[in-house]
Amino acid sequence: MLELRSRDHAEKRVRAGVLEQGTTDTLVEAAVGERLLREGLPHRGIELRYGGAGHRIAFEKLVPGRAITVYGQQEVVKDLIAARLADGGDLRFDVDDVALHAIDTDHPYLTFGGERLDCDFIAGCDGFHGVSRPSIPEGVLTEYEREYPFAWLGILARVKPSAEELIYARTERGFALHSMRSPEISRFYLQVAADEDIAEWPDDRIWAELKARLETVPGFVLATGEIIDKGVTPMRSFVAEPMQYGRLFLAGDAAHIVPPTGAKGLNLAVADVRQLTKALVHRYETGSDELLDGYSKACLKRVWRAQHFSWWMTTLLHTFDSDDAYGHRLQLSYLDYVTSSEAAARTLAENYVGLPYGSLE
C-alpha cells in the first residue's frame, strides 16, 4: 500500500462517521470489527425536522434487522492499518512521485521514490485528486458531474450529543445536521455558501446559527461546548465510468463522489473494495477473469443508486433559490409525504441503512 500522507494524518483526519449495515457486516467479517462493535453507536432511526416538528424514520419498523452504526472513518482507518501491520503487511506512508505504468498489459508496475513495484493488478483507492484515474488514457472514461450552489460547514465539538439519533433539519435559514462521534463528542453541519470563508465563522456565530436551525421544536435545547475541529466541505456529485482499465481498478473517491447528505461516500468505497476482493479471490482460485471483467458494471449499479439517493436527500433538505416559491412548496410537500406514508418512509430507510449486497445484481 502506497500512501501520500503520513500515518498520523491518515489516522486523525476527520471524515465520515455513518456506517451502513453492510459496511459494519463487512468489517466484522474481515476480523477488523472488534472495536467497532464495542465502541460504535448503533442507531435504529433518524429524525427529519421541519415546520416546527420532528418526525422519526424508524428503521426497526421499516427495515427490521438493519441499522446504521456511528463510528468515525478515522477509527475505521486505525483499525485497518493496525490489522494489516499485525499481518506483516507492507504499508508505505509519506510516499511521493507515484506513477503507474503499463496498466493495459499483463505486467503493470508502479514507480515511487526511485523504486519500482511490479504488480499483478493495481487498486486505485487514492481519491479524486490521486494519480490513478488520470493514468487512464484520455477518451476512455465518461465523467458525470454536478456541483451544488452551497457547501457544508462542519464542526467537531467536545460536548455530549443533544439527541440520541441524527437530526436532519430543513429550515428557511438553510439545512443543519446534528450528529455525533461518541457519547462525549458531537458532529454538526451547517449549509453555507459554496465559497464560504471559514475565517468568517467564529465559534459563537457557529453555535448561534446551529441553535437557530435546530431549536425549532418545543423543548429541544442544543448543548454547546469546545469546538475542536472545523472546516468547509464543497457539495458535488461525480462518477467516472468504467471503473477499470486494463489491470487498474478504481475504488472509492477515485471513481465517484457523492454529497454527504446521504452518508454514502465511505460506504460506497467499502462496497467497491468488497466487490474487488471477491473478484480477485475468484481470479486466483480459478484463473478466470470473469468477475474482474464485470467489476465496473457490478459496482456502478450501487454507485448510481447511491448517487440518486444522495441527490434526493440533498434537494429535499437544502434551501436553494429563495425566490423559487414553487420549489419551496414541492420540498415541503414531499417531506409531508415521506413523514406520513409508510411506503415513502421505507424507501428512505432502506436506502439510508444500505441496500443488502446482492440486491442490485
Set 178, 256, 260, 318: catalytic member: 260
Assess whether 43 carries a catalytic annotation: yes
Phi-psi region for residue 354, left (φ > 0), alpha (ψ -120 to 50) or beta? left
With 0-12 / 13-18 / 19 or more C-beta atoms within 10 angstroms meaning exposed / middle / buried, residue 326 is exposed
Q: What angle do CA 311, 314, 318 make, to 5 degrees?
A: 150
Pull the grid cell for residue 166. Answer: 441524527
H/E run at residue 218: none
Instruction: Tell me how far apart the alpha carbons of residues 108 and 185 are, in angstroms, rounded to a whole number.
Output: 44
Cβ–Cβ under 8 Å, residues 246 and 98: no
C-alpha cell at position 359: 440486491
182 vs 48: CA distance, rounded Å: 21
**Does 50 qualify as catalytic in the annotation?**
no
Name the catalytic one among 43, 178, 256, 318: 43
Catalytic residue among 50, 108, 161, 264: 264
Please say if 109 is a catalytic residue: no
Cell digits for 341?
A: 406514508
Active site residue 352: yes
**252's grid cell:** 472509492
Marked catalytic residue, from 50, 71, 148, 168: 168
Q: Which residues pair with 151 in a beta bridge?
A: 192, 234
Residue with the three cell numbers 451547517: 190
Instruction: Report in angstroms the alpha-carbon separations of 173 from 210, 211, 321.
Output: 10, 11, 12
94: alpha, beta or left? (left if phi > 0; alpha if psi -120 to 50): left
The span from the CA of 315 to the CA of 155, in Å, is 22
Catalytic residue ranges:
43, 168, 260, 264, 352
